[in-house]
Amino acid sequence: MLRMGLRPALVSILVACASLLPLAVPQIEERSWLAAIVAASLTAAILVWVGGWRRHLLLQWLRNPQAEAPDAVARAWGDVALRIERLQAQSRKDTQRERERLEDFLQAIEASPNGVLLLDAGAQIVWLNTQAADHFGLDPKRDLRQHITNLVRQPAFGRYLQIDDQDQVLSLQTHEGRSLAIQLRHYGEGARLLLSQDVSDRERTEAMRRDFVANVSHEIRTPLAALIGFVESMATLPLQEHERARVLELMRQQSNRMQSLVQDLLTLARLEGSPRPAPDQWWRLGDLLDLVRAEAESLSQGRHQFAWPSTALDVELAGVESEAHSAIANLLSNAVRYTPEQGQISLSVERLPDAGLMIRVSDSGPGIAAEHLPRLTERFYRVDGSRSRATGGTGLGLSIVKHVCQRHGGQLRIESEPGKGSVFSLVWPAVRVR
């Protein structure tokens, strides 16, 4: 501060000395050319020094733009300092705006369901989002600046990094059993963008679709082959009347089997493709149970003992009555098919504590081992394939029941042990019960 205060006084003294210099040279005339040159040179030097000092103050202020401009800078460079200050303020705003845009962009990439990983020219990790870290088992902070092949140790991945074809997609299996689709994109000077997508669900769906088509083809081919054989027999062999009647009965059974399979397939397609049932279409449960009771007793033909709800049910359910009919009828028909003669089959209805409703179908059949229970609702899954086909099942009944329950917001519960029978329960949510 003392030096800052002395400099204006020193400047004044030097200027005064410059003005008195011609008087200090008596041998030179007052307005001689030598005195003029000396005075002009000294004055110019002082001005240059003053200008340099003020430039020094200006540079100091520019190095610390947050501070206010010194008075000397403001006086000598007022307009320039004001303009520079405005430019600095605008630059700070632009920098802050770009920083916010970058943060928004990075947050958008973080929200992406796909993995995004940036590699420099040396294949070192520059940045990655959370999904990429999850896909490759990386740490978003610790693994920065690490070579990617040191962390993802799969030969196929290393070879893929050497390929320049950006249209080629690599399928990679992780240690956790995931399936990843990986693609590289070049940008900048040697940098690369590594994109990853978890396609495990898609591949699982494709596998289920292929299995479904194969199962449908097999299920239809079997009765169709039988029908073709019976038609050829009737056309080429001289059959007796009782033999012809026997062949016609077998043909009728195979035709019914094919018809049931097609109907179940159409039912599944309708359930999967239609919207959720409306919650205001009410129907009486008691009327539906009377219908399925008659159907089950007709299918049993007196070979089983049935137990039904003892009192009339004054309950209404909301949803599609035909779908509920299909679900309950499928459970009862399965019980009839798999329960030995003189076995017991019962249907009961129970109100749940949360005001929901449970419709339970139980039987005294052979029961089902625990390892089969999670897969019972898969299409065409059979515990004993030969026995299921012999009883006339299509392998789609429980899959239909599950879809009906899910569409109405309920669930299907299965309890079974070998030798102790099975219990299948339809749980109807409280919002669809009154």
Confidence at residue 215, expressed as pLDDT on a 0 to 100 scale: 73
Domain span holding position 89: 9-20+31-111
Question: What whole-number distance in Å separates Cα of residue 292 and Cα of residue 129?
Answer: 56
CATH of the domain at 193: 3.30.450.20
Among 84, 111, 138, give the residue marking a domain's end: 111
**Arithmetic mean of pLDDT, 197-203:** 86
State yes or no: pLDDT of 58 exceeds 70: no
Could you tell me if 42 and 117 lie in one domain?
Answer: no
State yes or no: pLDDT of 37 exceeds 70: no
- Identify the bridge partners of residue 283 per DSSP, sorted by sequence position: 317
Confidence at residue 5, expressed as pLDDT on a 0 to 100 scale: 46
CATH of the domain at 415: 3.30.565.10
In a domain, residue 154? The reply is yes
Comparing 145 with 3, the larger pLDDT belongs to 145
State the amino acid at position 79 in one-letter form. D
Which ranges of 21-77 would DSSP assign to H, the alpha helix?
33-63, 71-76
Confidence at residue 57, expressed as pLDDT on a 0 to 100 scale: 63
Could you tell me if 96 and 159 lie in one domain?
Answer: no
State yes or no: pLDDT of 212 exceeds 80: no
Could you tell me if 165 and 197 lie in one domain?
Answer: yes
Confidence at residue 153, expressed as pLDDT on a 0 to 100 scale: 86
State yes or no: pLDDT of 170 exceeds 50: yes
User: Structurally, how many domains does the chain consist of?
Assistant: 3
State yes or no: pLDDT of 252 exceeds 60: yes
In a domain, residue 263? The reply is no
Could you tell me if 297 and 425 lie in one domain?
Answer: yes
**Arithmetic mean of pLDDT, 55-66:** 62
Among 55, 82, 111, give the residue marking a domain's end: 111
Could you tell me if 88 and 136 lie in one domain?
Answer: no
In a domain, residue 73? The reply is yes
| The pairing of beta strand 179-187 with beta strand 191-198 | antiparallel
In a domain, residue 233? The reply is no
Minimum mean pLDDT range among 27-41, 50-64, 241-255, 357-371:
27-41
pLDDT band at 213 (very low <50, low <70, confident <90, very high): confident
| pLDDT tens by residue, 221-245 | 877 888 888 888 888 888 788 888 8
Comparing 148 with 269, the larger pLDDT belongs to 148
pLDDT band at 3 (very low <50, low <70, confident <90, very high): very low
Could you tell me if 98 and 118 lie in one domain?
Answer: no
State yes or no: pLDDT of 352 exceeds 80: yes
In a domain, residue 166? The reply is yes
Question: What whole-number distance in Å separates Cα of residue 134 and Cα of residue 116?
Answer: 11
In a domain, residue 270? The reply is no
State the amino acid at position 289 in one-letter form. L
**Arithmetic mean of pLDDT, 13-24:** 49
Could you tell me if 196 and 341 lie in one domain?
Answer: no
In a domain, residue 241? The reply is no
Confidence at residue 60, expressed as pLDDT on a 0 to 100 scale: 67
Task: Work out the mean pLDDT of the chain and round it to a whole number.
Answer: 79
**Arithmetic mean of pLDDT, 11-39:** 50
pLDDT band at 345 (very low <50, low <70, confident <90, very high): very high
Question: What whole-number distance in Å separates Cα of residue 196 and Cα of residue 184?
Answer: 9
Could you tell me if 319 and 402 lie in one domain?
Answer: yes
pLDDT band at 426 (very low <50, low <70, confident <90, very high): very high
Among 139, 171, 201, give the residue marking a domain's end: 201
Confidence at residue 420, expressed as pLDDT on a 0 to 100 scale: 87
Could you tell me if 192 and 284 lie in one domain?
Answer: no
Q: What is the DSSP letter of 45?
A: H
Q: What percent of the chain has pLDDT over 70?
A: 78
In a domain, residue 242? The reply is no
- Identify the bridge partners of residue 301 per DSSP, sorted by sequence position: none
Confidence at residue 21, expressed as pLDDT on a 0 to 100 scale: 47
Confidence at residue 43, expressed as pLDDT on a 0 to 100 scale: 59
Could you tell me if 339 and 389 lie in one domain?
Answer: yes
With vertex at residue 224, the alpha carbon angle to CA 220 and CA 227, rounded to the nearest 5 degrees, is 155
Q: Which of 364, 281, 382 is nearest to 322 (CA)?
A: 281
| pLDDT tens by residue, 139-160 | 888 888 899 888 888 888 888 8
Could you tell me if 175 and 307 lie in one domain?
Answer: no
Q: What percent of the chain has pLDDT over 90?
A: 10
Could you tell me if 107 and 123 lie in one domain?
Answer: no
